[in-house]
Structure 1
């Protein structure tokens, strides 16, 4: 029995090489909404509260305003923090929008979310107050594995015709795509280039978005004054999430930081599908990964991937499950808009909580386009984002290798486009063997 287990482990994790079989990832996928964050809410103060509040007291859960402080004491508020200090006032669909009033309130213990929200809503000076929803994450170049990527090209032509499209455009490196997911293994050599590695992640380049002001700047200093210190390759927005479900062993669940590396694997798979380095003799090809010179190089010519970590792995019902929080997504969208991303990918379910609605408006108002997965419920129900009527939100259903709707995919007249979504071979991070680059079928 021990020999079988060891053999299974060796066979299941295979490095990214031409003669190896990829991992077939088959994690359980709970579909959709699983609850609200039990010890945090988001709140929008109007100008009267913003002018009167004491920012020093806010760091300890008080505002210096009696009505708010009484409620804060009753429910043990420990911190009131601004969410979008660097956001700019904008107009979208004919209305003025300003995110400056949005704050997050953290409590010392779990609260009755709905009753606490109702209590805050009654106080003068509260423009809005919302819970924070938690959703599941579900899931002819010379690249060695191109022939296995049916979605790019296959003999029956039921694919997206990538070779034909590459005759016109292989990927525009001036475009930045924000990947809002579990993070990205940005030092995977089919994403970050030939110099990147687990030992030298700071050498990543390739098709990754690099914030050169911070990369070449002063350590522990906000060189570009965007409100984030040392954010040289995106940002990790995940912050103290263990109150909902225990963090999976080895996962980073503690606090936001400038290292948006992946643990779960989903975000790395998404990033590779979009812009793995193409024609570099390594790993896979991708839709918009540029066109290398036929060998592994440190730099890429494809669209740039901005990794924004909004999801994480947790132990849920005894199994590893990926989750994403709407407040993290809102913060990531504002970051993306303020740092040059015009495209954003969202491969998970969601609602309008955590002030996500205004954050989407903010991203779209700058000319952004948001690509949103239709969902894995095999029904006609659109989630909040897909149900919006904005022309710049594209809902994407999944198809299989026969060009039929994937069995799991949601569907309806709200779908913008359909794209391959079954057994897609892409880059991957296997946390059971983090030293190696991997490919996986999902």
Structure 2
């Protein structure tokens, strides 16, 4: 035969007394675990489990036993003889009502038995004969850093009932390792609703009729959406790009056909997963038609849509992805992008119903170009990926574009063994079975355990994913909540941290293990034995914290830790019902008992003129420690102990500058509790330059006429006054004029629109000042 098969049928046999555990049994120091109602043996040298042969015991009698003793032994223990080997080993069936491990222990204790073993069902080890297979390190690297595909192939190599749509630059459907070539079969999807082209290699030889009524004529081998015709291999001008062909070969190049490369789901010298070819832009993806291609693939029956592209975000594409996922049950997979970004993946990989795939290296570390972050889902090899290229050639390329189709191929294998899987179930299995490689932090997010920023949930493991997807494998499908109670003020009325609520948590599952417990963790905890458990199961009255946030809960079967599911938004918790202590507020600052100006020193110098004022601060819910402090035009402080509102600071000294009183009150131990009044009253004007009878004592400037009616002149009396500021106030301290006299000695000021009364004119220049009264008639 030309096929190169390597078959290894493994039967592992062990001895020694039996120890019984709640989740496992141990025989000859080898662990056995119950999976889906059947006992499996776990080998230390192999990642797989081996189911035991049902109700079967193999034993070898003591060499001194007679035929009569053996016959009596078989009757005594109700053993049904099956066969005897030349080496003296006997295979027996035991009765249906007997437990195999208990029976094995009883038989082993007999002096007539020299050896006893419990046989297992093993696997064939399969290696394909594709000529470039050794170049595909991501499938077979000897150090074990690969996607574990050969073990997965022992279960399935891909079923032609599963279709993966490759939406890319076009796919060379004529490639010998994808299309017919020299083989009698191909892995290119052929639309059953369209008549075949009379020449399978010529798209122009169709019948010119839209046979399936989908609006596309002769789309027998997919569709070119960019050029709107039926050759998804190339553009109208004959232009091509290798990208889509490289992607398609990774998913489903024909395997074990003695040619080129092996696809992840390419069959085994027979049809594997089918590739639906959809060209969405030869030189680059066209976002305007991507939504149409997604819906076409979904409607024609694709179970997986493979995208290795990025476009600008689009509501039309969002809607198409939602419909493909929610209505048609399609798994949508997209490369994370090659921008080295740590802040997240590109679009549409960032869509919440798309599985974003990053790239790893031959050492199971993140490829340095791979976009990553909180929304990266999973990773796969993306460096040195050998696959099909144009014109029946082969080559190697790097990029997340070539990591994503590895995951698409793995999903094709999963659906081959269990076509009933939903997109949510596929996502959960991939998440649960990914390998936590690279030494990264897979617990950086407490609400999303098992996730790393660098590789998502880890590097895909094809064997574990296919094993978990096999019919009968335990799956938790969903977690919902019901009967959310109001918040219960559980302790301190003003402390929200002890406020709880109760909620019913509903867990839906299939094929639960027969032993152990179903456990809830996360925002609430609970546990129930699986014995007699039916789906859905409702955990009644689970206590959680009333923090107002989304309910995050995880359900896991204790005896099958890979059977787990997390819902980070299973409902909304009620907000805290505690009444927090009222916050401190300062509501007002007023003044009273403003004293006249006090000529505090130099009669002709207004800068030392002060006045005193009472400052009244009104507040509520003051802190119990610290002080109440005044700052601004005047300063003071009072301990809060025994302080009542309003509090009056008596006799606060301020400068008699004739302006508005600006004052701030602040509690020292709660600085956010503060209030400022920029006009809490009007300071008296300086009395330093005016006599008892208001006689002008000025020597800085002359004000004339005074009294005045329409305008006044201000003349500087000193030559060194070169940059003077003139301000004018009314009796309320409101500023009416603000004039700068720079390098001039006199100015005229219009006062025609001012009411009759008393005003103040203040001059400031280089640290000196003088205020004079002005009477307007």
Quote how far apart the aligned CAs of 1:355 are. Answer: 1.6
Partner of 2:230: 258
- Offset from partner CA, 1:198-247 (integer Å, 9 cap, x none): xxxxxx95000001332338711011111110000000011xxxxxxxxx
Contact 1:326-1:354 at 8 Å conserved across structures: no
TM-align CA RMSD: 1.7
Distance 1:326 1:267 in 2: 16
- The aligned runs of 1:142-221 (5 Å cut-off) are 142-195=129-182, 206-216=186-196, 219-221=207-209
CA distance in 2 between counterparts of 1:402 and 1:360 reads 34
2:350 is the alignment partner of 1:387? yes
Alpha-carbon displacement from aligned partner over 1:170-210 (angstroms, at most 9, x marks no partner): 112111111000000001010002358xxxxxxx9500000
Q: Deviations over 1:279-328 (max 9, x none)?
A: 00000111000111xxxxxxx42100000000212xxxxxxxxx111122
Using the TM superposition, give the Cα deviation of residue 375 of structure 1 relative to its aligned residue in structure 2, in angstroms.
0.5
Q: Which runs of 5+ in 1 are unaligned?
A: 1-139, 197-203, 239-254, 293-299, 314-322, 430-435
SS of corresponding position for 2:332? strand
Q: Which structure 1 residue ranges, 4+ long, deviate > 3 Å from structure 2?
A: 215-218
Question: C-alpha displacement at 1:349, in angstroms?
Answer: 1.4
Aligned pair count? 256
What does 1:277-356 align with in structure 2 at a 5 Å threshold? 277-292=254-269, 300-313=270-283, 323-353=284-314, 355-356=316-317
Please give the alpha-carbon distance, in whole angstroms, between the structure 2 residues aligned to 1:235 and 1:347. Answer: 17
- What is the TM-score with the length of structure 1 in the denominator? 0.56
Q: TM-score, normalised by structure 2?
A: 0.32
Q: State the SS of the aligned residue for 1:419.
A: strand
CA–CA distance in 1 between the matches of 2:196 and 2:392?
27
What are the equivalent positions in structure 2 for 1:26-41 lying under 5 Å apart?
A: none
What is the aligned partner in structure 2 of residue 230 from structure 1? 218
Q: Distance in 1 between matches of 2:168 and 2:352?
A: 23
Aligned equivalents of 2:178 and 2:258: distance in 1?
A: 13
If you compute each CA radius of gyration, which structure gives the higher value, 1 or 2?
2
**Are 1:437 and 2:368 counterparts?**
no
Q: Is the 8 A contact 1:158 1:403 kept in 2?
A: yes
Question: In structure 2, how many angstroms separate the alpha carbons of the residues matched to 1:212 and 1:387?
Answer: 34
Which structure has more relative contact order (CA 8 Å, sep 6+)? It is 1
- For residues 287 and 226 of structure 1, what CA distance do their matches in structure 2 show? 31
Q: What is the CA–CA distance in structure 2 between the aligned matches of 1:282 and 1:303, rounded to whole Å?
A: 18
Choose from 357, 372, 377 the match for 2:339: 377
Task: Report the structure, 1 or 2, having the larger helix content.
Answer: 1
CA contact (8 A) 1:180 1:345 kept: yes
Distance across 1 between alignment mates of 2:195 and 2:260: 27
> Following the alignment from structure 2 to structure 1, what is the Cα–Cα distance between the partners of residues 162 and 312?
27
Task: Say if 2:346 and 2:371, in contact at 8 Å, map to a contact too.
Answer: no
**Structure 1 counterpart SS, 2:138:** coil
In structure 2, what is the Cα distance between the partners aligned to 1:327 and 1:337?
17
- Structure 1 pair 166/144, CA: closer, same or farther in 2 (3 Å)? same
Per-residue CA deviation, residues 122-144 of structure 1 (Å, 9 max, x unaligned), is xxxxxxxxxxxxxxxxxx21000
The CA distance in 1 between the partners of 2:336 and 2:318, in whole Å, is 17
Change (3 A) 1:205 1:224: farther
Corresponding position of 1:244:
none
Richer in strand (by share): 2
Does residue 407 of the first structure (1) align with residue 356 of the second (2)?
no
CA contact (8 A) 2:278 2:293 kept: yes
Q: Give the secondary structure class of the aligned counterpart of 1:344.
A: strand
**Which whole-Å CA distance do the structure 2 matches of 1:234 and 1:374 have between them?**
25
Whether the aligned pair in 1 keeps the contact of 2:185 and 2:271 (CA below 8 Å) is no
